[in-house]
Structure 1
């Protein structure tokens, strides 16, 4: 059955790749003649300032029923497209202003475009007394193309770091080393404010540990992005959108929190802005200090080539990580005209990381008799920093909905890790025999340049959009290994490395969507040309690549009626190897474990299919299948000395995933809202890497997330969250199941401008788990314990007045930032 579906999927995508361009061209020309019209206009206040985020309702004159709705944009402009022939009237609503109406609007063959001109909204002057607003944006919003998690409304997330918040997201799992997985799949592209994060899982984890969840407005989860997005990130896209005040005059927020787990942790920050009709100046800063531990026990059984038992290593380690991070942001929106906005912004992160690892390893012979002991002590200190400079121009060409945008983006990352290592050797009786001292001195620089341009316009009963993007990345990794001899550090060039990665990606895309009766269809095609080199200076070697890939996408919605919708998604995506995964430097992770990059990694290609049924925007049932060629993963290989292990990123021939998701999200009563996700999936992996043969059919895995909000009074609310994951198999590893419970309370104070939140995560300390790894001539049994049970008290206060508007910055850097790892 799997083979049949795999062949059908490949045939479909091969046909679709060739046919998409033709269909797009036919759609773009043939649908222009459809008989629909548009209604446009602009909204201003009595002070002639643009009115933003007003709700515009278009109603049928015959029955006053709502036909279409929209919101006014940053310039106060609105446009309602795809209006069929008929008579209508329009209503404009916004809190703080009097409602206005315009009647006698007619759309016909003679009046295809109706421009209502400038509509002035008057400030509401009636004294309403105290008004209690009971409506609240839900913590989780389910949409057919993405899931939106409104972090600012989370109680259990208050006072936590962004990394801790990520692990609370539906379908998201964060591994002990900080790797983020979505619906059981890695290779997730993580964005911050529309920009991918450039970093390895380790450095990304450190950055997110240094980011307070209080600085985040919402997180968007897209399992199947369209052709408009970079083709990289086959595991999906997670976009972290930080808060950005956009209110008239001075406005802002201050916050602080204290948490206690195994160690104390705290954070604080501010977010301020000043806005008038000409510009919006915004600035923010966050300081976070975290300290946590990770305990690990490993039993390694090592075999000879003939599968006879050779020896056993029993290791126990304790890792303490201390991170201090200051994250500033400054930017300005310049309103060049009512239709044109230029945004210039700069962000950065200044960090101090200390990672202390203390481990001991007992080695036993084939009869399980202890032969020696090795104590490994490592202190890794670094002061990484990064900054990004971005310019975004948005221009509305006319009132019919034609828009153009352009972006320029530059990012720089720097890290200087210094790892001091002490190896103490003991005999079978724990008598000291020898000591080895070494130093790993790293220097890593990363520069990314990116530019893109996008254009969109109405087209018949839908839209046409196309665009271009180019990026250039240069990553320099200089790793020097020193042996300490008689108190002096001597360079060991055989264990050192100097590597330069260069990569240029040029892309074009086109998307067309059309509404045809009950169907809404979007066709997309993205083409990417990639040129890259990996220069290894110590051994004078170079790996070059030059190739073109096409990535079609198909999205179909069928609206059975107002309560029932069917959705189909078919995509082709890729994952290029992370830059650090291609650096052939062998770095010590412990006394017996090393990591070494692979410059010969090939990009993986993923064919994805997803079918969803939605009922009343509350119940979503999804069946998905994915096939991956050249799957990228990290495998453990036993070294020739039969005592140490080197973990190497490798390609596995193919991987398959079957998945069934059931999501239920609804406000059940005035005091209770629930969001639940049930998923069952199975992953299988087949192929070879070196001499290691992999044939893992996987095992069905169940994952369940439940988040429940209780609105006790107008000021007091509560939240309870539960997560469960059963045993799962991933490549050569099998992980035991676990569960976690979190709860919190929030109380509004200071005239509802402030709130105090108390929350507890992993209340029953139940996230610890075990795993079993089976590699060639090597079996490993892991016992893992995490420092995730934390109680946090936080306080937030907002000040200023004005009506907030929504606008975020889209920048040119996307997929390449995810792969630009600074370390492993």
Structure 2
């Protein structure tokens, strides 16, 4: 970090601290929202506060996942609290007399509405974006114009997240992100993250949580932080569900959900599928290289590739309240993803400017993955409010297969001069077992502790068949084939303490110790075990009922995923080889963040975060050039080899601004902008250090034409990036969407278009590399013309009956549970 950057951050920090010190109001009202009959906590209940005698709320909040709420920064006076939640009667508590102290409203019991409802649709008032002390929540279910897309379309709108044209996701400018589904890991993310995110329909997503300041309870995995995708569920009694369908020129998807819930038991099932129709990308690669003897070679490859993708997800979940204190949830899921890329390329190679040889390459690469996930979660609540024990078992098993075949033919020849094919089946199994315990030591102090074991086993085998030009036959090549066994065990324990200091600061601090033990069965590889100590701390202060300031620190680690360590050598393009790296070391990051959150009475919000990240063992995709490259007993000439490597260190300093501005009741503008200063030091190849400024920004304009008709415009821009080997391209996309609700808002019809005025998005990448100990100098110019234009329509339908029984009926139904 430069002196100017430190001075800028320090100045802003002092200004914000000065604002804190000037705040004098210390009154606070706390409480917990529960169901009057089951005594279960009610999350996301709306809590509003009114000064006595006023009909206009002076602030408010939403209960957390344990039903707790806090109304802070209150001046002296009398207040009443009003609680609302879907399907329950409104409740008014108070008046409470505030005299610069904390008032505990206790447990507020909500009774279900006494009316028997027929087939109805209830729409929550939850805002699209919620800022919380440890995470930011994007409520995708309320973003109705995104329902016809996929998870990547939703992620583009999530604050602090950016997505490039190939589906690569960054969080605050960092690509190493830990993805979870419903708070649990899955092997499907390790095998092909882009395929999962491009195949998961947006209509299946309830919300997306972004956690950049994770506490000690969370795994340390993921340098940028954690993105948790919450799938839709329904905790309202009755039988109900949704059906979503969309069709377009580029993508088709659909999903169906069914929920059945009685008083204490609920079960839900879902199925969703996605297919990206065949799209043709145009490719031009112009590369100049120099070999050890000084000969210059120019290779020009001009062609196209046809790409298509498909996948589906399915699952069944249950929720069983054994008693008022005991709850069991479980899930079982199956997912499938696949893609195929076929291409035809004309090749021309010249040496020292002389007329060269021309050839044609046919290539085909395929990938498919199947994943099974199952989990069982038990929670026990004690008599003391907030005291809780949770046991979780989660396991995932994935079967993957990568394959390719390619052949090269000289112009005018019938038979290939070079060809090969390969199949790479593999398995990835991961099991997580954890125990977490929460114990309130007092009303303002909460202690948490727990332990976790992660067991991961990877098995991969590659069978290569090489072409013999003399016999015109393919034969198994044992020298290029291999097998890999990878066994990783992580043992972790943590402690955490949350408390209020001086009636002024809310502090949550803790530490996590992770021991990683890795065994690998692959020639020339040995990975020693290591310990990682992960301290975390979040200090926050409510400037008022609508604004909060926080500062946080955490340590993160990035362990390589399956796709990064798999040593499978992809020779679908023998001039540009890609492979994995089993020797990747874990990348370590130290993350500081200073954040300010402000909510406005009109419904708008603003979040500003200053962040600084320092990464060691920095992992980057790196390309080396070789005049001769040996794979087994085969030699490939004038080739580039690309894989992931530990390069050195990287410092990221920046600012992230996200907000929502309601210009009127009908017009709303949301923005998400991140500006990052990157400083990368290449310690391995002796290359120059790189300093670059990267801008990621988007704008989302929503216009409510009527109560049932909404229109939206969305624009997304990523600036180009100078890196250690050249420059990655910029890109800009834009979307327009409209959606009309009908049948009493039980159904809706939408239209969406992406880049309607341009068929292609051009992606120009340059690589410049000086001579190194591992490779020779070369320059590469690569232009991809990606077809991104699309038009589509989508249909959504909600069905079923929401059953709110009378209180006496619920009491009768609940009695057997307690016996």
TM-score by length of 2: 0.84
Structure 1 distance, partners of 2:103, 2:544, is 28
Give 2:808's aligned residue: none
Assess, with a 3 A threshold, how the Cα gap between structure 1 residues 626 and 100 changes in structure 2: closer, same or farther: closer
Cα deviations by residue, 1:531-556 (Å, 9 ceiling, x for unpaired): 001111xx4x4413211110111212
Q: Is the CA contact (8 Å cut-off) linking 2:382 and 2:388 kept in structure 1?
A: yes
Give 2:778's aligned residue: 778
Give 1:813's aligned residue: none
Structure 1 distance, partners of 2:110, 2:416, is 84
Q: Is the CA contact (8 Å cut-off) linking 1:107 and 1:113 kept in structure 2?
A: no
Q: Is the CA contact (8 Å cut-off) linking 2:177 and 2:226 kept in structure 1?
A: yes
The CA deviation at 1:568 is: 1.2
Cα deviations by residue, 1:757-799 (Å, 9 ceiling, x for unpaired): 1011123437422121122312111212222211110000001
The CA deviation at 1:579 is: 3.5
Assess, with a 3 A threshold, how the Cα gap between structure 1 residues 386 and 508 changes in structure 2: closer, same or farther: same
Structure 2 distance, partners of 1:803, 1:328, is 26
Decide which moves more: 737-746 or 714-723: 737-746
Q: 1:720 aligns with which of 670, 695, 713?
A: 713
Assess, with a 3 A threshold, how the Cα gap between structure 1 residues 501 and 4 changes in structure 2: closer, same or farther: farther
Give the total of aligned pairs. 757
Give 2:351's aligned residue: 365
Give 1:19's aligned residue: none
Q: 1:479 aligns with which of 457, 462, 473?
A: 462
Q: Indicate yes or no: 2:271 matched with 1:285.
A: yes
Structure 1 distance, partners of 2:638, 2:323, is 69
Q: 2:686 is paired with a residue of what secondary structure?
A: strand
Assess, with a 3 A threshold, how the Cα gap between structure 1 residues 120 and 105 changes in structure 2: closer, same or farther: farther
Assess, with a 3 A threshold, how the Cα gap between structure 1 residues 801 and 157 changes in structure 2: closer, same or farther: same
Give 1:790's aligned residue: 790
Give 1:447's aligned residue: 429
Cα deviations by residue, 1:289-312 (Å, 9 ceiling, x for unpaired): 212333322111212458x66111
Aligned positions of 1:586-605 closer than 5 A: 586-605=569-588
Structure 2 distance, partners of 1:136, 1:444, is 46
Structure 2's unaligned 5+ residue stretches are: 10-26, 629-636, 771-776, 805-819
Structure 2 distance, partners of 1:558, 1:681, is 26
Assess, with a 3 A threshold, how the Cα gap between structure 1 residues 302 and 70 changes in structure 2: closer, same or farther: closer
Q: Is the CA contact (8 Å cut-off) linking 1:740 and 1:764 kept in structure 2?
A: no
Give 1:17's aligned residue: none
Cα deviations by residue, 1:31-70 (Å, 9 ceiling, x for unpaired): xxxx99976685336xx79695555668888999989866
Structure 2 distance, partners of 1:398, 1:251, is 34
Decide which moves more: 162-171 or 88-97: 88-97
Structure 1 distance, partners of 2:780, 2:280, is 22
The CA deviation at 1:98 is: 4.1
Q: Indicate yes or no: 2:322 matched with 1:336.
A: yes
Q: Indicate yes or no: 2:489 matched with 1:494.
A: no
Q: Is the CA contact (8 Å cut-off) linking 2:188 and 2:371 kept in structure 1?
A: no
The CA deviation at 1:756 is: 0.4
Q: 2:597 aligns with which of 614, 621, 637?
A: 614
Structure 2 distance, partners of 1:573, 1:43, is 38
Q: 1:218 aligns with which of 207, 210, 217?
A: 207
Assess, with a 3 A threshold, how the Cα gap between structure 1 residues 70 and 559 changes in structure 2: closer, same or farther: closer
Q: 1:590 is paired with a residue of what secondary structure?
A: coil
Give 2:809's aligned residue: none
Give 1:378's aligned residue: 363
Q: Is the CA contact (8 Å cut-off) linking 1:759 and 1:792 kept in structure 2?
A: yes
Q: Indicate yes or no: 2:721 matched with 1:735.
A: no
Give 1:699's aligned residue: 692
Cα deviations by residue, 1:634-653 (Å, 9 ceiling, x for unpaired): 21111242511111321112
Q: 2:187 is paired with a residue of what secondary structure?
A: coil
The CA deviation at 1:345 is: 0.6
Q: Is the CA contact (8 Å cut-off) linking 1:698 and 1:728 kept in structure 2?
A: no
Please give the root-mean-square deviation of Cα atoms over the aligned residues, in Å.
3.7
The CA deviation at 1:508 is: 1.0
TM-score by length of 1: 0.83
Q: Is the CA contact (8 Å cut-off) linking 2:89 and 2:111 kept in structure 1?
A: no
Aligned positions of 1:505-584 closer than 5 A: 505-516=490-501, 517-536=503-522, 539=523, 541-562=524-545, 564-584=547-567
Q: Is the CA contact (8 Å cut-off) linking 2:404 and 2:571 kept in structure 1?
A: no
Q: Indicate yes or no: 2:673 matched with 1:682.
A: no
Assess, with a 3 A threshold, how the Cα gap between structure 1 residues 158 and 321 changes in structure 2: closer, same or farther: same
Decide which moves more: 388-397 or 182-191: 182-191
Q: Is the CA contact (8 Å cut-off) linking 2:172 and 2:656 kept in structure 1?
A: no
Structure 1 distance, partners of 2:253, 2:649, is 44
Structure 2 distance, partners of 1:701, 1:383, is 34
Aligned positions of 1:139-288 closer than 5 A: 139-143=128-132, 145-175=134-164, 177-199=166-188, 203-261=192-250, 265-288=251-274
Structure 1's unaligned 5+ residue stretches are: 10-34, 805-824
Give 2:18's aligned residue: none
Give 2:626's aligned residue: 639
Assess, with a 3 A threshold, how the Cα gap between structure 1 residues 515 and 67 changes in structure 2: closer, same or farther: farther
Q: Is the CA contact (8 Å cut-off) linking 2:235 and 2:261 kept in structure 1?
A: yes
Structure 2 distance, partners of 1:635, 1:528, is 29
Q: 2:385 is paired with a residue of what secondary structure?
A: coil
Q: 2:656 aligns with which of 651, 655, 661?
A: 661
Give 1:710's aligned residue: 703
Structure 2 distance, partners of 1:709, 1:92, is 29
The CA deviation at 1:722 is: 1.2
Give 1:320's aligned residue: 306
Q: 1:493 is paired with a residue of what secondary structure?
A: coil
The CA deviation at 1:197 is: 3.8
Give 2:762's aligned residue: 768
Q: Is the CA contact (8 Å cut-off) linking 2:275 and 2:310 kept in structure 1?
A: yes
